[in-house]
């Protein structure tokens, strides 16, 4: 077993939240509102991680809202989390029409910024929406599996007006699942970015 690799995504995310929220003094309130952007079926693991993390801090359970562009993307997670989470199919660039903030924590796992030429512009608009619904004391935690998505994500987050507290290698990266054409190992949650509303 590789150092820093955890047996399941929820265990990995409990450690990610514990380390990075703790390091930057992000204290979630009891029963926090959490938004999972472009959730897919990872929502199941993310919800379990949140319950584990919040339970360890005696903060109750989250008000968990997960959004993705198509209902098909989260169908399995919606079935698994029936009655525990609220799932919405929508364009995240228009999320404020569908979800009510503020959110204390926003999760964004592996956003596909480089899937098309329009990707960075689309995600900049999404992060602008995040900046408007994020609680002033809260944060967004974003992970990427390779630099080709992480560096553009960092640029888009800054352009959207969020303040980056940390961006770099994740201490709790997941398993390697492939290799890019230029030889980079593709690893789940390889890089992590933590951002909050900019302070004036």
Please count the helices (runs of H) and the strands (runs of E) in the chain.
5, 9
Residue 126 falls inside a structural domain: yes
Residue 3 falls inside a structural domain: no
What confidence tier does 4 reach under pLDDT thresholds 50, 70, 90?
low
9-35 confidence digits (pLDDT tens): 999 999 999 999 999 999 999 999 999
Residue 2 falls inside a structural domain: no
What confidence tier does 199 reach under pLDDT thresholds 50, 70, 90?
confident
108-119 confidence digits (pLDDT tens): 999 998 878 899
Mean pLDDT of the chain: 94
Residue 1 falls inside a structural domain: no
Q: Find residue 142's DSSP bridge partners.
A: 108, 193
| pLDDT at residue number 2 | 45
Residue 40 falls inside a structural domain: yes
| pLDDT at residue number 6 | 59
User: Whole domain around residue 76: which residue ranges?
Assistant: 9-197
| pLDDT at residue number 115 | 79
CA dihedral (195, 49, 129, 151) positive or negative: positive
Residue 179 falls inside a structural domain: yes
| pLDDT at residue number 7 | 66
> Two tokens at 131?
């900046």
**Residue 107: which CATH number?**
3.40.50.150
Closest C-alpha to 47, from 38, 57, 58, 36? 36
Structural domain count, the chain: 1
The more confidently predicted of residues 1 and 36 is 36
Q: What is the pTM of this model?
A: 0.94
Question: Averaged over 128-157, what is the pLDDT?
Answer: 97
Residue 4 falls inside a structural domain: no
47-101 confidence digits (pLDDT tens): 999 999 999 999 999 999 999 999 999 999 999 999 999 999 999 999 999 999 9
């Amino acid at each position: 077993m590789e150092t820093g690799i955890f047996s399941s995504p929820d265990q990995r995310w409990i450690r990610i939240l514990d380390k990075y929220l703790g390091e930057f003094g992000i204290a979630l309130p009891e029963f926090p509102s959490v938004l999972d952007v472009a959730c897919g079926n990872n929502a199941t693991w993310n919800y379990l991680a949140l319950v584990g993390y919040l339970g360890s801090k005696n903060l109750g359970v989250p008000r968990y809202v997960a959004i993705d562009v198509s209902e098909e993307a989260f169908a399995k997670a919606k079935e698994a989390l029936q009655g525990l989470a609220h799932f919405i199919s929508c364009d995240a660039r228009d999320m404020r029409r569908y979800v009510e903030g503020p959110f204390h924590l926003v999760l964004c796992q592996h956003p596909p910024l480089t899937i098309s030429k329009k990707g960075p512009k689309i995600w900049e608009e999404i992060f602008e929406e995040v900046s408007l619904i994020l609680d002033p004391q809260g944060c967004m935690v974003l992970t990427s599996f390779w630099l080709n998505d992480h560096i553009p994500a960092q640029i888009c987050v800054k352009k959207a007006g969020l303040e980056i507290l940390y961006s770099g290698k994740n201490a709790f990266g997941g398993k390697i699942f492939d290799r890019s054409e230029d030889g980079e190992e593709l690893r789940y949650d390889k890089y992590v970015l933590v951002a909050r509303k900019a302070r004036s």
